[in-house]
Amino acid sequence: MSIGRLEEVDIRTLWKHEQYDFSEWLSKNENIEILNDILGLTLVDISKETYVGSYRCDLFAKDETTGTKVIIENQLETSNHDHLGKIITYASGLDAKVVVWIVKQAREEHRSAIEWLNNNTNNNVNFFLIELHAYKIGNSDPAPMFKVVEEPNDFIKTNKPSGGNDTINKSQAQRLEFWEQFNEVVIARGKPFNPRKPSTDHWYNVAIGTSKAYIDIILVNKDSYIGIELYISDNKELFDKLFTEKEKIEKELGFTLEWKRLEGSKASRIMYKIEGLDFDEHDNYNELMNKTIDLVVLMRDTFKKYI
């Protein structure tokens, strides 16, 4: 057997210009997916060169399911103070909750700075420092690789209660444990949808290819069920349109749904419940998680035809 050897490629030979080459490349759907896997997001509506005062942010996007604003600043050289200042300026000017700084090489002082920002800034703001590398084997095409240097600490940032207390209660810990195991099953099954970053929340969103709605998985331990629902944030017309197709949709799914127009609320929900959730009994977790994944994929693919 012939075994090749990885050879690192200078990224400047692949992308000579940050704006016209690399930012353009990264903004393509098939390439931003590489970054989505790292961030646990589904980035859409990607804008290039968004102005903040007289400065221009390389890429500005939002997460499809949560609407979270994301900035991406590209620096195909060693990290410097100038770009550190820029990402803070852009985050403030664009009200971004996720800040991604991609560099050729991260200096130790900037790694420490991003770590400090993650531990000491607002609970809802998350900073990523990522090195960009590229490799090839023999005469193969070069392949890019993102190496995470600093990222939010799940317990300190993403899962920290809004009151500022660094500890999490039993229910939060149980939900975090569930989502961590759930992601392992999703990955083991070849990622039929992008895994979300595990959190202490009772919900987990899955994009369906439109900002009009998404699939929401909710854990309701007190009533012993997992809910899989199409969540429509603010579009009663869409709910009414889907409701006219109720019989066809349910026939295609093979089960009936709970249709909740929720009068007086902006949101609408179309839900199916899987019974048997108990945070204190994990024997059926694998069965529950696999059934949940099956239904998420089925509902996503079915509803996409009608939206």
Question: pLDDT for 81-123, tens place per residue?
Answer: 999 999 999 999 999 999 999 999 999 999 999 999 988 887 6
Average pLDDT, integer, range 29-58: 87
pTM summary value: 0.63
Give residue 158's pLDDT.
Answer: 43
Q: Is the pLDDT of residue 154 over 80?
A: no
Q: Is the pLDDT of residue 44 over 60?
A: yes
Average pLDDT, integer, range 248-265: 94
- How much of the chain, in percent, has pLDDT values that exceed 90? 68
pLDDT tens profile 130-149: 999 999 998 899 999 999 99
Which of 39-53, 97-111, 136-150, 271-285 shows the lowest mean pLDDT across its residues?
39-53
Q: Is the pLDDT of residue 129 over 50?
A: yes
pLDDT tens profile 199-249: 888 999 998 888 789 999 999 999 999 999 999 988 999 999 999 999 999
Question: For residue 50, what are the β-bridge partners?
Answer: 57
Query: Could you tell me which residues come within 8 angstroms of residue 133 by beta carbon, excluding any fewer than 6 positions away?
Result: 8, 11, 144, 145, 146, 147
Average pLDDT, integer, range 14-30: 90
Which domains, and CATH codes, for the chain?
6-158 (3.40.1350), 170-304 (3.30.1460)
pLDDT confidence bin for 251, thresholds 50/70/90 = very high
Task: Look over the chain and give the mean of its residue pLDDT values, rounded to a whole number.
Answer: 89
Give residue 159's pLDDT.
Answer: 41
- How much of the chain, in percent, has pLDDT values that exceed 70? 94
